[in-house]
Structure 1
Amino acid sequence: MTPRTPATPGTPAALDLDKLFAARLHAARVRPYLATALFALHTVESRRVPTMAVDRHWRCYVSPAFVTATPVEELAGVWVHEVSHLLRDHHGRGDRVARERGLTGPGDRLRMNIAADCEINDDVFGEGLARPEGAVDPESMGLHDGELMEDYLRQFRLGPHTRELVWLDCGSGADGLEREWDLGPDGAHGLSAQEQDMVRFRVAEGIKGHPGSAPGGWQRWAEEAFHPPQAWRELLGAAVRSAASGSGAGQDYTYGRPSRRSAGVPGAVLPSLRRRPPRVSVIIDTSGSVSDTELGSALLEVASISRAVGGRRDLVSVLSCDAAAGVVHPLCRAEGIPLTGGGGTDLRSGFAKAVGSRPRPDVIVVLTDGQTPWPDTRPGCRTVVGLFSRQDSHGSSWSEDDPDYVPDTPPDWARTVVIGSAPGGR
């Protein structure tokens, strides 16, 4: 290592790049499956960060004072910690969690950062990587190892036990919230989305190509990195919004605002076409093959459907159906909807009742396990099917009446989303 000229008194020390890059090389040697990602990071000297931090564009901001004060072995651990945030997409996941749970304040983002640290630090250190003093891990927070950021986020709040934690600011790469020191999307040396995916792919391929060389958390991440389970809540909401915005959905004529074409027809007033919030009819399968857990999930989806159409609960109706359709209930509160049934399954009666209701729905949403006959013809409105994932603990298809029964797949005219798949992450 080349010796450096000591800084003059009162002059801030320059960033010791030799020491910093020696630490990165050490990290790559002891965690070779992360080498591609470690060397993809671009270093930015910054006295505004407390230690080291990353942004969502794969820049690593480094405090010169922190590098000077930290041994090489600990710096190597920080390198691995920071690049882990980016590989595991904590910034994208943080944004999604913020939208889903309404987490908007800086305190919420700080909790995300700590939760993300817990996800990473449970298996980062040891075997050549020294543990920095005060690093956050699940044990220090009284939590269990092996969980995801989203899980940890539900299990703790900020308080006296979090005041002394270090690494409370790993940058926007850890929680999605842009910092004042970020160079932003237009700054130099950032990686594009395609380049980031390429780095993740090479790291995942390296882990899968040498099984046993990485901890279990990294092996699970590598398996799911490019084959993630469906983010079914987002898909269901997107499917409902797509169906509701289709041609003919939620459209009506009004004389409140005459059509501009009236000018071409002297003496006549023509109505104009307007968009109105779509009406949605939700059919919930309450047959004996649907579990209480799935019925509870169905009620949660009703609330999500209400949000997908602008929060107008008066435009969402719900009916339960096993072999016969029940009563159509307007949506006041999802938890107040009676779900009656428990018999056999034939949702065709539910379709008939939904289509025949007045006012007629623009979109029909069916929440079912799929063990039902389907209508022979397309209803007169768009249809979305939320299909409960029927998997037992061994990953096999399940039916309480006949283990060999394979239900008919939903028809081609329905948009189908599988409900119950775990969200992607680690």
Structure 2
Amino acid sequence: MAKLLSARLHAVQVRPYLADALFALHVVEDRSVPTMAVDSYWRCYVSPGFVARTPVEELAGVWVHEVSHLLRDHHGRDEVYAREHEEYGPGARLRRNIAADFEINDDIYGDGLPLPAGVVLPSLLSLPEELLTEEYLGMVSMSAITPELAWLDCGSGADGQERPWELGPDGGQGLSRQQRDAVRFRVAEGIKGRPGDAPEGWRRWAEEAFHPPQPWRQLLGAAVRSAASAPGAGEDHSYRRPSRRSAGVPKVVLPSLRRTPPRVSVVIDTSGSVSDAELGSALLEVAAISRAVGGRRDLVSVISCDAAAGVAVPLCRAENIALVGGGGTDLRSGFARALRSRPRPDVIVALTDGQTPWPSAPPPCRTVVGLFPRRTRRVDEENPDYVPDGPPPWARVVTIG
């Protein structure tokens, strides 16, 4: 135990931003554990033989490795993956464990934590680094390396499948859900406070911990419906039903105000920086937008826009729309083309990666921007301090994906 706790202290010294998480783990000695493993209740199961034969610096790396599984919620994420793909059993468990190790090991070693022999890295399968567990699981079968890594077992905290040695929810010294969330928040807060101490992968994790992913399809649909139902959108006078105010004006028939379905122009960024997958997603959103405004596809038009706007195409079937582009990006021409349409749209929806100039003044209608996320933004080689403009404040912005 003294050697194990010395290794944890070394891990805290070289990775101070993980200190709260490392001290939150409760150690359980168990000779049936191959090396070290964790469960979702933040218990760390340790083999005494493994500790005895492993140097302190390498043990420190194992501490960081195991707590990384818990901070990144591999238990919950891999449970979801196994349920969605119906992959159970020892082989599927090992695949999920390997993919989880691929995700975290590229951020662990170096700067005081030596790379041990046999560590599982994406380079074993010539895969890129800095991907997520789910991405690695979808890229390759891993059948070529699973026989060599049959010894690998980081516990249910790494792959969501309980082990015989684990104490379970009724065992002692486990953390409640609220306590586990509090530990994650404190670690993320520390990384955000001193981002220079943490690698890029941990900084991205901390950003998502503060701003978790949102159900963007629901948000985008709600934004379109909200814009379409705003006062002044799709309203007109009609004599089909006289106004109730007519009773106060004898011999005069006043028209009533009725709501007509709003017209929507969808401007799709087709520049070279937008991928084919994102364009396919944009077409799916066009179909969803038509449903959000009452199913009137004749009131929805689509404009392809890279450096110049194309023709406004009426929506018949979203999957049959040809998206033309591939050059630079300037959505200002797309906005101008939408506003030249007659009748003029009540709502403009722009689907873009955001790397574009924006109109200098708000258009005379509601605007919703569906923003494809980007890890890195465009740079200006002549001006290293250049930061591209984000969507303007007059637009309702929903991040897609």
Question: What is the TM-score normalised by the length of structure 1?
Answer: 0.59
| Residue identity opposite 1:192 in structure 2 | R
1:284 aligns with 2:270: no
User: How far does residue 38 in structure 1 lie from its aligned partner after superposition?
Assistant: 1.7
- Give the direction of change, closer, same or farther, for the CA distance of 1:201–1:233 in structure 2 (3 Å limit): closer
Give 3-state SS (helix, strand or coil) of 1:160's partner.
coil
CA 1:161 to 1:182, structure 2 compared with 1: closer, same or farther past 3 Å? same
1:416 CA drift (Å): 0.7
What's the secondary structure of 1:192's corresponding residue? Answer: helix
Tell me how far apart the structure 2 counterparts of residues 292 and 73 of structure 1 sit (CA, whole Å): 47
Calculate percent identity across the aligned residue pairs. Answer: 39
Aligned-residue offset at 1:44: 3.4
| Residue identity matched to 1:62 | V
What is the SS of the residue equivalent to 2:313? Answer: coil
Check the 8 A contact 1:55/1:171 in 2, yes or no. yes
Matches for 1:19-34 after TM superposition, within 5 Å = 19-29=3-13, 31-34=15-18
CA apart distance, 1:197: 1.0
Contact 2:26 2:173 (8 Å CA) reproduced: no
1:124 counterpart letter in structure 2: I
Q: Is 2:127 the partner of 1:137? A: no
Q: SS where residue 136 of structure 1 aligns? A: coil
Counterpart amino acid of 1:329? L
Partner SS for 2:22: helix
Q: Give the letter aligned to residue 338 of structure 1.
A: A
**Does 2:322 correspond to 1:328?**
no
Q: Of 240, 243, 247, which aligns to 2:220? A: 240
Aligned counterparts of 2:225 and 2:151: Cα–Cα separation in 1: 45
Change (3 A) 1:307 1:326: closer
Pairs within 5 Å for 1:29-40: 29=13, 31-40=15-24
- With over 3 angstroms needed to count, the CA separation of the structure-2 counterparts of 1:418 and 1:44, relative to structure 1, is same
Are the equivalent residues in 2 in contact too, given 1:324–1:350 (CA < 8 A)? no
Q: Aligned partner of 1:296: which letter?
A: D
Amino acid across the alignment from 1:283: V
* Residue 299 of structure 1: aligned partner: 279
Q: Is the 8 A contact 1:73 1:129 kept in 2?
A: yes
Structure 2 counterpart of 1:371, from 352, 358, 362: 358
State the Cα distance separating 1:46 from its structure 2 match: 5.0
Partner of residue 115 from structure 1, selected from 99, 102, 121: 99
Partner residue, 1:347: 335
Contact 1:385 1:410 in 2 (8 A): no
Q: 2:148 is paired with a residue of what secondary structure? A: coil
Residues 10 and 57 in structure 2, CA contact (< 8 A), matched pair in contact too: yes
Q: CA deviation at 1:417?
A: 2.6
Distance 1:366 1:160, change over 3 A: same
Per the alignment, residue 181 of structure 2 pairs with 193
Q: Are 1:156 and 2:140 matched, yes or no? A: yes
Instruction: Return closer, same or farther for 1:192/1:229 CA change in 2, 3 Å cut-off.
Output: closer
Q: Deviations over 1:33-65 (max 9, x none)?
A: 544432121223456754322234433233456
Structure 1: stretches of 5+ with no match in the other structure: 1-16, 250-278, 399-405
The answer for the alignment partner of 1:254 in structure 2 is none
Shift of 1:136: 0.8
Please, which moves more after superposition, 26-35 or 51-60?
26-35
**In structure 2, C-alpha distance between the alignment counterparts of 1:230 and 1:18, rounded to whole Å:** 36
1:168-247 → structure 2 map (5 Å cutoff): 168-175=152-159, 177=160, 179=162, 181=166, 183-184=168-169, 188-190=173-175, 191-202=179-190, 205=193, 208=195, 218-221=198-201, 223-227=203-207, 234=214, 236-243=216-223
**Alpha-carbon separation, structure 2, partners of 1:44 and 1:352:** 70
Q: How far apart are residue 332 of structure 1 and its match? A: 5.5
CA contact (8 A) 2:302 2:314 kept: yes
**Contact 1:41 1:60 (C-alpha < 8 Å) held by counterparts:** yes
TM-score (norm 2): 0.62
SS of equivalent residue, structure 1 residue 293: coil
Distance 1:147 1:139 in 2: 12
Shift of 1:385: 1.5
Q: Displacement, 1:26?
A: 4.2
Task: Determine the C-alpha separation between the residues in 2 that align with 1:232 and 1:364.
Answer: 27
Structure 2 Cα separation of the partners of residues 60 and 182 of structure 1: 11
> Aligned in 2, Cα 1:186/1:280: closer, same or farther, shift over 3 Å?
farther
Q: Quote the offset at 1:29 in angstroms.
A: 4.7
- Displacement after TM superposition at 1:102 (Å): 5.6
Q: Structure 1 residues 397 and 185, CA, compared in 2 at 3 Å: closer, same or farther?
A: farther
Structure 1 residues 366 and 19: alpha-carbon distance in aligned structure 2, compared to 1, 3 A threshold? same
Provide the C-alpha distance between the structure 1 equivalents of 2:391 and 2:121, rounded to a whole number of angstroms: 47
**Change in CA separation of 1:153 and 1:293 when aligned onto 2, cut-off 3 Å:** farther
Q: Which amino acid aligns with 1:220?
A: E
Structure 1 residue 338: deviation in Å? 0.4
Using the TM superposition, give the Cα deviation of residue 221 of structure 1 relative to its aligned residue in structure 2, in angstroms.
4.2
CA separation of 1:92/1:351 partners in 2, compared to 1, >3 Å: closer, same or farther? Answer: farther
70, 81, 87: which one aligns with 1:105: 87
- Deviation per CA, 1:62-118, whole angstroms, max 9, x where unpaired? 34564466555543332121122334554566678x49x965524666444323322
1:5 alignment partner in structure 2: none
SS in structure 1 opposite 2:190?
A: helix
Q: Distance in 2 between the 1:124 and 1:160 partners?
A: 25
